[in-house]
Amino acid sequence: MNDTTTPESSSRPENDMQQLLCDRLLDPTQPISERFRALFSLRNLKGPVPRNALVHATRDSSNLLAHEAAFALGQMQDTEAVPALEEVLSDLSLHPIVRHEAAEALGAIGLESNVPLLKDRLALDPAQEVRETCELALKRIEDVKTAGSALGLSMEEKSPFLSVDPAAPIAYSSVDKLREVLLDEEERMYERYAALFALRNHGGCEAVSAIIESLGSKSALLKHEVAYVLGQLQNKAACAALCNVLRDANENAMVRHEAAEALGSIAVHVGKPSDDQSVALLEEFAKDPEPIVSQSCEVALSMLEYERSGKSFEYLFQKAPLACNDF
Ligand SMILES: [Fe+2]
Ligand SMILES: [Fe+2]
């Protein structure tokens, strides 16, 4: 063997790269899209350095970046991040979108020890979307426990879309029945989420149109998850409805944010020219007075540009070894 690489020499460039990614994530002078590129790369790594940088980012003055960092910590299911997420959830000086993502992350990590805090926030958080997320997280933790003890199964498995979902999909029932549950304003939020994920996993025109229909629901929390799911599905049938959500200045910023990102992800999939309208809209709303919305459009447009030029938005998937001047 000619390979003379020692463990030390192979880990050093890796550590340098991790550090560069952390610096980029936390540098407020960088464009938001560059900071997102760093975040999307760090979420694929493990260990204290990426974790601490992401924890730090949950306190960023960009609410968009802060909420994405909390979301990433939940998707990584790293129990070491729990104390920081508990603090974020309890800190009412933070934007509701950030507290929401912290609650969702605690649900995704699934520790029973978080039940008292989630119950407390369910009763006391002033924002409805945060209270509803606490309700979902509590039910998820209960389900993880039941599934683990009764069936010996793990709910920790990722969905076919590689996300750790806030609810397990309802075991198969007809698209009509699932649609009914999803659209029922009297139904519990967890059941509506479970129907949404079952429809997503089922796929097909009827399921997709039921999902699009649910963008007319009352709950901002449900609508933001619906928009996120439509982004996962990358079905262009959803474009018109998502455009309407993005245009609606009275809609909750969390919902408009997910609509913008979903439009970007559908545009990546569809390609020119059918997505021109979405791209024009993203360009228009990149100037929205609400930073959560304008920054979402900026990130979506940047991702689209990378995809179209055949490059990866995430640094870590670039083929050549990273040189410092790539940053
Ligand atoms: Fe969310
Ligand atoms: Fe989000």
Question: What confidence score (pLDDT) does residue 285 get?
Answer: 97
Counting as low any pLDDT under 50, the low residues of the chain are 1-9, 150-154, 156, 317-327
Q: Which ligand is nearest to the CA of 104?
A: 1
pLDDT for position 322: 45
CA 255 to ligand 2 center in whole angstroms: 8
Residues forming CATH 1.25.10.10 domain(s) in the chain:
15-150, 212-309
Q: Which ligand is nearest to the CA of 63?
A: 2
Q: Is 224 annotated as a binding residue?
A: yes
* Tokens (6 digits) for 242: 């998502």
Q: How many residues does the chain have?
A: 327
Q: Does 202 appear as a known binding residue? A: no
Q: Return the DSSP state at 46.
A: -
DSSP category for residue 94 = S
| pTM for the model | 0.89
- Closest-lying ligand to the alpha carbon of 260? 2
DSSP letters, 255-270, are HHHHHHHHHHHHHHHH
Domain 15-150 sits in CATH at 1.25.10.10
- Sign of the alpha-carbon torsion through 238, 240, 243, 247: negative
Give pLDDT, residue 271.
61
Q: What is the C-alpha R_g of the chain?
A: 20
> Which residue, 265, 267, 256, is CA-closest to 295?
256
Distance (Å) from CA 247 to ligand 1 centroid: 20
Ligand 2 center to 258 CA (angstroms): 6
Q: How far is CA 327 from the centre of its chain?
A: 24
Of the candidates 90, 101, 13, which has an alpha carbon nearest to the alpha carbon of residue 57?
Answer: 101
Q: Which ligand is nearest to the CA of 224?
A: 1
Judge whether 206 is annotated as a binding position: no
Centre of ligand 2 from the C-alpha of residue 68, in Å: 6
In the structure encoding, which two tokens stand for residue 121, read together? Answer: 């926030």
Q: Which CATH superfamily is domain 212-309 in?
A: Leucine-rich Repeat Variant (1.25.10.10)
* Cβ count near 290 (within 10 Å): 15
**What is the pLDDT at residue 146?**
83
DSSP tally for the chain: helices H, then strands E: 16, 0
* Per-residue pLDDT, 151: 44
The pLDDT value recorded for residue 314 is 78
Å from CA of 293 to ligand 2 middle: 11
Could you give the CA distance from residue 302 to residue 194 in angstroms, rounded to a whole number?
A: 32
